[in-house]
Chain A
Amino acid sequence: MDFDLTPEEEAFRAEVVAFLDENLPVKSMADWTRKVRDKRWVGFSWPREVGGGGGSLMQQAILKAEMAKRRAPALGTCFMGLAWVGPALIEYGTDAQKQRFIPDILDSKLQWCTGYSEPDVGSDLAALQCRGERDGDHYVVNGQKIWTSLAPIAQWMILLVRTAPIDRGNKHAGITCLLVDMKSPGLEVRPIENMAGGYLFAEVFFNNVRVPVEQRLGAEGEGWSVTVSALANERSSISEVEALMRRLDELEELARSQRKHGRPVLEDAAVRRRIAHFATVIEGMRLNGLRLLTKQLKGEPLTSETSINKLHRAALEVEMADFALTLQGPAGVYVKGAEPAVASGKWQQGALGWPDTVIGGGTPNIQKNIIAERILGLPKD
């Protein structure tokens, strides 16, 4: 075991720190986005040939950790493009597709959304029914997607359709991945209001939407592999851990300021222990992440063990925001804009906003299935 950085890694860290010291707090988002793009930190892990930074795993870890420590804004704003679409394009895209789509993702010019879930298909994604029928040099798409995050503001969608009838023995076959212009005729987006009052997810309807064959990503029928490779791109959760650490600092700040039943809440041993418990789980996540990073550095692929930190994170997202409300006592009911609201109602927003992260990337129950079946070897449902 050795937690020290090599001189080269230390030099990279110093470079990161110097840049962040100079540019934080940001003057404007446009300025920040341009500067980090010039530094090739957007798509930092992507190959330099496609315009990425060619950063090593260790450099990525250092960069993420230092940025999160200083609460730096994200590297680029094309969130889904950077998270899923770019990595899938790099692995499965044609040269023409790479040239057409990757620069705009790196330059934060647009938003992508992911057309996966359907009204009858959520966790059981491979059972999807939205159809794509070949017609000359186009696919004609008919069907519906739902819970499509960012659809109301996205210009492009990475879409999964069924190009062959479902084979119950092998549901993963016959799925094809298409890149769809959201302005395509026949495509309609109907935003859905979430419980926090936001409108960032939507229903998307396809009525004879024509998608050129050159916008197919990967081979016909291999859409499942394309998707899985993109999903597997989620790594050792370093930025999530750092973000949770900052959240815990804020929770402590809140706890220091609150009184309940006439006494400071921090005099309550149960409150102190709960905060220590959160700190411990977050530290456990950090160390789990370092164990995974060590595996990656040794060239071993990460598989289902990333589900461990996903489960911790899901629990913490829900529990920390909920706990913050209990610290506020009767004032825990006031929301943003109300005069008695504590901390401008930010914890109330958190207490209603967690499904974004907790349900978004696969529900906790699905993560438990993954661990039980793929790691423990228990029989599939």
Chain B
Amino acid sequence: MNFGFTEEQELLADQARRFVNERCSMKEVRGWIATDPGFSRECLGQMAELGWAGLLIPEAHGGSGLGWVEATIVLEATGAALLPGPLASTLVSGALIAEYGGEACKERQLTGLATAARLGTLALFEDDASLEASGVSLRATPQGEGYRLQGHKSHVHDAAAADVFVVAARTDAGLVLGLVEHGAEGLAVQEHAGIDRTKRLGSLNFEGVQLSDDAILARGNAAEAAYERALDLAALCASAEMVGAAAAVHQLTVGYAKERLQFGKPIGQYQGVKHPLAEMHVDIETARSLLYYAAWLAGGEPAALSRSVSMAKAYISDAFARIGIDAIQLHGAIGYTAEYDAQLYLKRSKFARPAFGDSDFHYERVARLRGL
């Protein structure tokens, strides 16, 4: 029994923390998000050199062939820095292609994703706000060996930056999951302003877009399972970034509570301040436990993962939402300013809460998996 990191994983965690401290200071992050595309290609390239973009891609395809615990470690660090850009989206897309793609498809996609020369993302959801596979109505009409896609996708993370989209569509014979390239004929990508400028998102319009046979990852029942897997893995990545971000804003607030003097004492000496900070610690550590266990399960049987991921995402969604708000309140007026960083974390908490399912969605899923 060992619920801890290996030595290599400890080293990776250390390396990831050092990298974001040195390369992704809040000053840099603020600079990147003020521009388009909203992130630094250079920084992403450096992370790819460290093997992080291709973390989940087999070595045979140019990746580092590591696992979800390692991915979680890296995303916790980039989450703490509020790193902008499609690292999580690319990680999940790469993993899904590696798991479900045919040889030709993997050959074509994976090396580019592993070096971050190309970026990927998921396009699963639509406007009715259902996150279930049953909510997919993007029409896939048979055309030759593949399909012709007609319809719409919403809430697509990193839509403008992505080179390849993992798309869920519906045929008469059930669900299909496949890859569509940015720039495909009939595909229109539109970015929409979101509450958190460190995270970009948009929508896709499909006007007779070709989904070729060799770009299909799964069909029918296999596609239903792949859809669940995509949702689980994306929720896992989102949870990892949230735990990192929540811990970072907690640390920022604890530091402030030690230095800020009122009535002649550091405000952290008052129980009205120290107790909420203790509660945040309880939530962050518990979310970490749930997260790491889910990350460990992600490398095993897909069916075992859903319950654990849903627990982690539900728990951290509520916790981070509260932590984001409390962090501002505990700072007082300085927390309300644009100049101070706490507000960036509040915005991230609002962005990340509904991403791949809020606590309502995931607690309902946990209830269903318990047979209720």
Interface positions of A (Cβ within 8 A of B): 1-5, 9, 58, 61, 252, 255, 266, 269, 272-273, 275-277, 279-281, 283-285, 287-288, 290-291, 293-295, 297-298, 305, 308, 311-312, 365, 367-369, 371-373, 375-381
Minimum distance in angstroms from A353 CB to a CB of chain B = 24
26 contacts between A and B (CB under 8 A): A1-B292, A1-B296, A3-B1, A255-B372, A273-B363, A276-B364, A276-B372, A279-B366, A280-B363, A283-B290, A284-B290, A287-B290, A290-B3, A294-B3, A294-B4, A295-B4, A312-B286, A368-B271, A368-B274, A368-B279, A371-B282, A378-B254, A379-B265, A379-B266, A380-B269, A381-B271
In the assembled complex, the Cα of A120 lies from the Cα of B147 at a distance in Å of: 78
B2 at the interface (CB under 8 A from A): yes
- Say whether A1 contacts B311, CB under 8 Å: no
B69 at the interface (CB under 8 A from A): yes
Minimum distance in angstroms from B134 CB to a CB of chain A = 17
B314 at the interface (CB under 8 A from A): yes
Interface centre among B265, B278, B289 (most CB of A within 10 A): B278
Query: A369 contacts which chain B residues (CB < 8 A)?
Result: 271, 274-275, 278
Closest partner residue, chain B, to A364 (CB atom): B275
Known: A1-B69, A3-B3, A273-B360. A378 touches B257 (CB 8 A): yes
Query: B271 contacts which chain A residues (CB < 8 A)?
Result: 365, 368-369, 381
Interface centre among A1, A273, A381 (most CB of B within 10 A): A1
Query: B285 contacts which chain A residues (CB < 8 A)?
Result: 288, 305, 308
- Say whether A1 contacts B275, CB under 8 Å: no
Interface positions of B (Cβ within 8 A of A): 1-6, 69, 254, 257-258, 265-266, 268-269, 271, 273-275, 277-279, 281-282, 285-287, 289-290, 292-293, 296, 308, 311, 314-315, 359-360, 363-367, 370, 372
Minimum distance in angstroms from A240 CB to a CB of chain B = 15
Closest partner residue, chain B, to A372 (CB atom): B274
Closest partner residue, chain A, to B299 (CB atom): A1
In the assembled complex, the Cα of A9 lies from the Cα of B275 at a distance in Å of: 40
Known: A272-B363, A284-B286. A378 touches B274 (CB 8 A): yes
Q: How many A-B residue pairs have CB under 8 A?
A: 150
In the assembled complex, the Cα of A192 lies from the Cα of B51 at a distance in Å of: 66
Interface centre among B268, B282, B311 (most CB of A within 10 A): B282
Closest partner residue, chain B, to A283 (CB atom): B311
In the assembled complex, the Cα of A169 lies from the Cα of B21 at a distance in Å of: 41
In the assembled complex, the Cα of A9 lies from the Cα of B2 at a distance in Å of: 13
Query: A377 contacts which chain B residues (CB < 8 A)?
Result: 254, 258
Minimum distance in angstroms from A337 CB to a CB of chain B = 31
Known: A287-B3, A377-B258. A252 touches B277 (CB 8 A): no
- Say whether B275 contacts A372, CB under 8 Å: yes
Query: B360 contacts which chain A residues (CB < 8 A)?
Result: 269, 273
Query: A297 contacts which chain B residues (CB < 8 A)?
Result: 1-2
Closest partner residue, chain A, to B270 (CB atom): A381
Known: A5-B1, A376-B278. A281 touches B286 (CB 8 A): yes
Query: B370 contacts which chain A residues (CB < 8 A)?
Result: 252, 275-276, 279
Known: A272-B363, A371-B282, A379-B265. A266 touches B372 (CB 8 A): yes
Query: A277 contacts which chain B residues (CB < 8 A)?
Result: 314, 363
Minimum distance in angstroms from B247 CB to a CB of chain A = 12
Query: A280 contacts which chain B residues (CB < 8 A)?
Result: 290, 311, 314-315, 363, 366
Query: B287 contacts which chain A residues (CB < 8 A)?
Result: 284
Closest partner residue, chain A, to B369 (CB atom): A276
- Say whether B372 contacts A252, CB under 8 Å: yes
Minimum distance in angstroms from A362 CB to a CB of chain B = 13
Query: A276 contacts which chain B residues (CB < 8 A)?
Result: 314, 363-367, 370, 372
B4 touches which one: A1, A281, A367, A375 (CB < 8 A)?
A: A1
Minimum distance in angstroms from A258 CB to a CB of chain B = 13
Interface centre among A275, A290, A297, A378 (most CB of B within 10 A): A378
